[in-house]
Amino acid sequence: MKKSFFLFAIVLLTCFTLILPIHAKLNIYFLDVGQGDASIITSPTGKVVLIDSGPSKNLILEHLDNLKIGHIDLVIASHAHADHITGMDEIIAKYQPRAFVDPGIAHTTKTYERMINALIENDVNYYEGTSRKITLGNIELTILPPAEPLISQSELNNNSTVVRLDYKNFSCLYTGDIEKERERELCSRVDSLLDVDILKVPHHGSSSSSTPTFIKTVNPDIAIISCGEENSYDHPHDEALALYYNLDIDIYRTDQHGTILVQTDGSDYTIQTETDAPRAPPVKIEETKKDVSSEYKYAASKKSKVFHYIDCSSVKNISPENLILFKTREEAIASGRRPCKRCNP
Ligand SMILES: [Zn+2]
Ligand SMILES: [Zn+2]
């Protein structure tokens, strides 16, 4: 009797194992789109959310293809700047999302116009980014309240749609390009909703954002910075980086790590990055400093087509594992790189 019950239990268990999806996990991709923001969320029940599309149509469409995204349930545009919504028109036409959320603040650019036209032409349900909760399968997205009245300073950035994602005990906060004024507002109005595991750092790590109060209120384990290598804004700024470092918050950057994948079962999470892949032996910064003056005069990042004088300010932004050094200018040119416009090597 006992034995047959045991057998029955095994059969039952096997059935359940087969029925349950093997990878019942939430995946959050912070896509490497250069200087901009784009993130894809795929839920354990197959729901797909896109938050921002970055600065390049081709790049975002390529990412979606590579990830084999077949449909998108919800698109959120944090705000109307081109580094967040380029290619939205084509994404809307191709994936026909069920719903679309943005802050409802118009912009005068063609990119913005094309996005709005695509929403109309494809009959997508439009929701303004006012306080609301969106439940998609077993994940929940909370749109945090806009400022009232809207903030007039850096209007588009500050009034970005801010989204909190929850899955069981895991949480993540998307902040678009909000700046100090909006951070202050959020801290005073909804501070209890800000405390999360992972923060998408506001405004590409600019010093216009990331106030100490905001970071302490959000209190993340991990800070994700989405920015382009050697971007013209010099994002992320040292002041902002220092605040996260000093609070022992781990920083991941798309300019250094490539696309960053956070995977969670709702209690634990893991982080994988594109640069985890096998690569050439790293050159240690400490070592390079020693022989810099005598031997190496030029430097470049493995991921860039530009080379610099070793003391160019851009070099300090190159992560040790991506740093390549050259003794002569000829060597640097021979590597297929062109001189930096700033330091003119
Ligand atoms: Zn931006
Ligand atoms: Zn912006």
DSSP string, 119-179: HHHTT-EEEESSSEEEEETTEEEEEPPPPSSPP-TTHHHHT---EEEEETTEEEEE-TT--
What pTM value is reported for the model? 0.76
Mean pLDDT of all residues in 272-298? 52
Q: Where residue 305 sits, what CATH number does that domain have? A: 3.40.10
Within-domain flag for 195: yes
Residues 272, 292, single domain; the answer is no
Taking the alpha carbons at both ends of the chain, their separation in whole angstroms is: 83
For residue 121, give the amino acid letter. Answer: E
| Residue 279 reports pLDDT greater than 50 | no
Contact 32, 39 (CB under 8 A): no
The answer on 335 and 254 residing in a single domain is no
Summarize the confidence of residues 249-254 as an average pLDDT: 96
Domain closes at, from 225, 245, 276: 276
**What's the gap in Å between 118 CA and the centre of ligand 1?**
22
- The pLDDT score that the predictor gives to residue 286 is 33
**Counts for the chain of helices (H) and strands (E), in that order:** 12, 19
Distance 307 CA to ligand 2 centre (A): 28
From ligand 2's centre to the CA of 256, what distance in Å? 21
Whether the per-residue pLDDT at 213 is higher than 80: the answer is yes
Q: According to the model, what pLDDT value does residue 291 have? A: 38
Residues 267 and 297 in one domain: no
292 Cα–ligand 2 center, Å: 38
Identify whether 339 is preceded by a cis peptide bond (ω within 30 of 0): no
Q: Which two tokens stand for residue 18?
A: 């087969």
Q: CB–CB of 244/227 below 8 Å? A: no
Mean of per-residue pLDDT scores for the chain: 88
13 is a domain residue = no
Give residue 154 CA to ligand 1 midpoint distance, Å: 12
Q: What angle do CA 58, 64, 70 make, to 5 degrees?
A: 130
Distance CA 285, CA 295 (A): 14
Q: The tokens 């069920």 sit on which residue?
A: 98
Residue 46 belongs to some domain of the structure = yes
254 vs 317, higher pLDDT: 254
Q: State pLDDT tens for residues 93-134.
A: 999 999 999 999 999 999 999 999 999 999 999 999 999 999
Instruction: Return the pLDDT at 334.
Output: 85
In this prediction, residue 38 has a pLDDT band, given cuts at 50, 70 and 90, of very high
pLDDT tier, 7 (very low <50, low <70, confident <90, very high otherwise): very low
- pLDDT value, residue 321: 72
Residues 325 and 232 in one domain: no
Q: Is residue 4 part of a domain?
A: no
Which ligand is closest to the CA of 226, given by its number?
Answer: 1
Range of the domain at 295: 285-339
| Residue 148 is assigned to a structural domain of this protein | yes
Ligand 2 centroid distance, CA of 270 (Å): 29
Mean pLDDT computed over 39-59: 97
Strand order in the sheet with 38-42: 125-128, 99-102, 74-76, 48-53, 38-42, 26-30, 260-264, 269-273
pLDDT tens for residues 291-332?
344 577 888 888 788 888 888 877 877 777 778 888 889 888
State whether 182 and 118 are in the same domain.
yes
pLDDT above 90 coverage of the chain, percent: 72
In a domain, 328, yes or no: yes
> What is the reported pLDDT for 217?
98
Q: Is residue 126 part of a domain?
A: yes
Cα 132 to ligand 1 centre (Å): 23
Identify the band that residue 2 occupies on the pLDDT scale cut at 50, 70 and 90: very low
**End of a domain among 276, 302, 319?**
276
At 116, give phi and psi (nearest 5°): -65, -40
Residue written as token pair 């382009």 = 228
Q: What is the CATH number of the domain that holds 189?
A: 3.60.15.10
Decide if 344 is inside a domain: no
Which of 185, 179, 231 has the alpha carbon at shortest distance from 208? 179
Judge if 98 and 132 occupy the same domain. yes
Going by pLDDT thresholds of 50, 70 and 90, the confidence category of residue 220 is very high
Query: Is the same domain home to 180 and 125?
Result: yes
Instruction: Among 78-82, 193-197, 270-274, 317-321, name the one with the lowest average pLDDT.
Output: 317-321
Q: In the chain, what's the furthest Cα-to-Cα distance? A: 84
CB 21 within 8 A of CB 44: yes
- Does 185 share its domain with 247? yes
Q: Residues lining ligand 1 (ion), CB within 5 A?
A: 83, 177
Structural domains of the chain, count: 2
| Chain centre to alpha carbon of residue 246 | 22
- Please report where in the chains the tokens 């100090």 appear, as a residue: 180
Residues 227 and 188 in one domain: yes
